[in-house]
Amino acid sequence: MNLLIGANFKMNKTNTELLEYFQTFTTEYPNTPGVDVMIAPATIGLSKAAEFIENSPIHLGAQNMFSELSGAYTGETSPLMLQDIKCEYVILGHSERRTIFGETDEMVNKKVKTALAHNIRPILCIGENLAQKEEGQTKDILRVQLEKGLAGIEDTTNIDIAYEPVWAIGTGKSATPEYAEEIHMFIREILGQQESRIIYGGSVTEATAHELISKREVNGFLIGSAALDPRRLIKIVEEATR
């Protein structure tokens, strides 16, 4: 299975900045074998990004999507719209969607199902916050997020799971490779025989990528801040594959 290295741009980069980014990335990225690179710009940049990356090895991802196909849902994006521009991935249940925008496991589950039904590969994000970690609730929280997020789904082959501890996102405090491995093994146990990739997210940089990926159950990364610079993203892929 290829590693998945995903970039979540969050609410960053105008279309002009995206063009610059992709010009640098597509010129300098050597298309490393064994790695799927996915880039998720903000919704408004998706169509432009789809044009910029045509004929490049980059896979396009959305940062969110609604669970209905069309209708009176102001401000939302339909899977049909993503399909139409050949957007292959969608990040679902990111902790910022859960905490700032009130997404529940049930809402995330509907989105995961809709994405699958439209051949868009969901990256289902799960993760505990600092208080939950400190109270020793990490595994209980993850089990619930995973079981509810995947409720009614028999085959998770086409789903990637992103373990993103909330305390590590945007804080510069990455999980240690040992901690990530322990949690990924726990997630793997819950998934059973399923083939899903389990990727890690939370302050990954070019300095931490190699050690993290050396753990057997770490199958890639979801990266925020460090991926905003195309050369740093290329360096992370290099570090993850050396």
Least CB distance to ligand PEP at residue 158 (A): 20
Asked if 224 is part of the footprint of ligand PEP (rule: CB under 6 A), the reply reads yes
118 noted as active-site residue: no
CB 190 within 8 A of CB 152: no
Among 134, 113, 121, 88, residue whose Cα is nearest residue 199: 121
| Residue 164 is among the residues annotated as catalytic for this protein | yes
Number of residues in contact with ligand PEP under rule CB under 6 A: 13
105-117 and 138-149 helices, crossing angle to 10°: 40
Q: How far apart are the first and last CA of the chain?
A: 17
Interaction between residue 181 and ligand PEP (CB under 6 A) = no
Nearer to ligand PEP, 78 or 230 (CB): 230
Distance CA(163)–CA(171), nearest Å, equals: 16
User: 139: closest CA among 191, 182, 79?
Assistant: 182
What residues numbered 193-212 form the site for ligand PEP, per CB under 6 A?
A: 201-204
In whole angstroms, how close is the CB of 112 to ligand PEP at the nearest point?
17
Provide the CA 199 distance to its chain's centre, in angstroms.
8
Q: What angle do CA 153, 155, 161 make, to 5 degrees?
A: 85
Among 17, 83, 170, 179, binds ligand PEP (CB under 6 A): 170
Give the residue, chosen from 39, 169, 236, 240, that forms a contact with ligand PEP under the rule CB under 6 A: 169
| 223 belongs to the binding site for ligand PEP (CB under 6 A) | yes
Q: Which residue is nearest to ligand PEP (CB)?
A: 224
Amino acid present at 105: D
Question: Smallest distance, Å, CB 55 to ligand PEP?
Answer: 27
What is the binding site for ligand PEP (CB under 6 A)? Answer: 8, 164, 169-170, 201-204, 222-226
Cite the active site residues: 94, 164
